[in-house]
Amino acid sequence: MNQEHFDTIKNKDGFIAALDQSGGSTPKALNDYGVSEDQYSNDDEMFDLVHKMRTRIITSPSFTPDKIIGAILFEHTMNNRIEGQYAGDYLSDKGIVPFIKIDQGLADEEHGVQLMKPIPGLNNLLQQAKEQNMFGTKMRSNILSYNEKGIDDVVTQQFQVAQEIIDAGLVPIVEPEVNIHSEDKEQIEEYLNQSIKNHLDALATDDYVMLKLTIPTKANIYQELADHSQVLRVVALSGGYERDEANEMLSQNDNVIASFSRALTQDLSVNQSDADFDAKLKEAVDSIYEASVVKN
């Protein structure tokens, strides 16, 4: 494990940029950026375009390590170069800790949740991630409604895979997302909090995870998780909230920092000049940083 990266994630003020849209979400991400589906004809062209988008973000003078402490990449980005360097090396040299998204999407809903699909070739992917100087991984599940069996199934699966990641020498970001439109959102979060804690308590003292959680309805409900000895950091996903609302909700939670995706990039466009692009990105970075470090 890279101790410098460990210390950065654990102790430094800032937030984590989620730049990990994958096959299913890439068309929407490109469309939001102003690149319509008629501008590419296959997956290779699509991924080349999204790599250009991510490269523009990462190389922007507004994408700085004084406010952004980490970035989550899609596998395609990890294996591509930015200004001649592999993405992980470029970010590390810039002072930003690189992570890799490893899940392969979601299974069909059952018991009110969507588990992760199987991850074929996980061991090979983790070895590749280490070779590409990734510090950690991220994997997402989805909780849609209150069902204790479903929630426990999600958390159990997340921690089973997390242990494989830990054993490979990486730090997993465990992400059991709670759908922001769920009528049971607050009740789900109360039960999820305890379910996660039970699994954290079972970790060895030298095993660490990060938690990526939907911004909770009840502020500071995850305080005990953030304080847990085996938790390196708790980060929040925007989950579909617009940036202003996400920032306002996040600012009410102590010891939780952002790991926003759409809320970070929502005002960016392929048609902007570099000056306008950098200015819009700076506005987003500054506001998300303030919400991450300044608490009410």
Which residues participate in catalysis according to the annotation? 175, 212
DSSP string for residues in 21-74:
--TTTHHHHHHHHT--GGG-SSHHHHHHHHHHHHHHHHTSTTS-TTTEEEEEE-
CA distances from 35 to 24, 38, 44, 166, 247 (A): 16, 8, 15, 38, 27
According to DSSP H, which parts of the chain are helical?
3-11, 26-33, 43-58, 75-78, 87-94, 122-131, 148-167, 185-201, 223-226, 243-250, 262-265, 274-293
Q: With beta carbons less than 8 A apart as the criterion, state whether 251 and 291 touch.
A: yes
Count the neighbouring beta carbons within 10 Å of the beta carbon of residue 221. 16
Ramachandran region, residue 83 (left: φ > 0; alpha: ψ -120 to 50; beta: rest)? left
**CA-to-CA distance for 65 and 71, rounded, in angstroms?**
10
